[in-house]
Amino acid sequence: MKFISWNVNGLRACLGKGFTESMKVLDPDFICLQEIKMEKGQAEHGLDGYSEVWNSAVKRGYSGTAVFARTEPLSRAMGMGVPDHDNEGRLITLEYPEFYLVCAYTPNSQRELARLDYRMRWEDDFRAYLKGLDAVKPVILCGDLNVAHQEIDIKNPRSNRRNAGFTDEERDKMTVLLASGFTDAFRSLHPETRDAYTWWSYMAKARERNIGWRIDYFLVSNRLMPNVKSASIYPDIWGSDHCPVGLELEP
């Protein structure tokens, strides 16, 4: 099974920049999108053979997630059942016989860390939600988690130390989540790989210079790691300020 996750930073815009063609080349079984900034039916995506699950934000043109799956899920859920978190379309959970697939778009702590306190509440509630799922069956979590966990995951760790996405608080929450029974698939398979990023600022030709951050992930329940065949980053696929990331699972 092949999974792709991509923060498209506006799906309608990304559709005009080769989204459909890229997905057809990658040919995944599951496509998990974040920051779609639209509702179902507002644009033709050109993907055939997939069922669609959309969770759009209450605020139009903001945030939102979507999952395209070749296999119908046993069940689907939007949000985590916490009203404080569930109006921005940030979470989709699909249940399959062998696992839960969770597509997440973690809130950004914003400039001057204006939303850091809220982000900390999200992290605690989200971790509890994931642990509840994991107690039933293994979990595959993917998405823009808005944190570069380790210094290896960011080009300039020293100068970004207190910037949103690289605060001690956010990084510590990722450490706690992983210690709760989850594995960062890419870093597990590529522990020493540097300059592997998934997001670049639009400023100062950061992407061309590969001045980036790795903030898009596949985390899997520890007991699923023996089934992980590969975990990939696709920096050559443009269309957003993020690039897609991938996971392949053996049966």
Mean pLDDT within 37-46? 95
Instruction: State the catalytic residue, choosing from 100, 105, 129, 217.
Output: 105
**100 included as an active-site residue:** no
> Would you state the pLDDT for residue 218?
99
| pLDDT digit string, tens, across residues 149-171 | 999 999 999 999 999 999 999 99
Helices 116-134 and 168-179 sit at what angle, rounded to 10 degrees? 10
Mean pLDDT within 100-127? 98
Mean pLDDT within 182-205? 98
Instruction: State the catalytic residue, choosing from 100, 134, 144, 197.
Output: 144
| pTM for this entry | 0.98
- How does strand 216-221 pair with strand 182-184? antiparallel
C-alpha 141/C-alpha 118 separation (Å) is 21
Residue 251's pLDDT band (boundaries 50, 70, 90)? confident
Mean pLDDT within 69-76? 98
| pLDDT digit string, tens, across residues 213-224 | 999 999 999 999
| pLDDT digit string, tens, across residues 55-66 | 999 999 999 999
Strand partners, 246: 4, 232
DSSP 154: B
Cβ neighbour number for residue 161 with a 10 Å cutoff: 12
- The residues near 226 (Cβ < 8 Å, ≥ 6 apart) are none
Q: Determine what percent of the chain is predicted with pLDDT higher than 70.
A: 100
**Two tokens, residue 169:** 């608080």
**168 included as an active-site residue:** no
Q: Determine what percent of the chain is predicted with pLDDT higher than 90.
A: 100
Tell me if residue 131 falls in helix, strand or coil.
Answer: helix
> Would you state the pLDDT for residue 26?
98
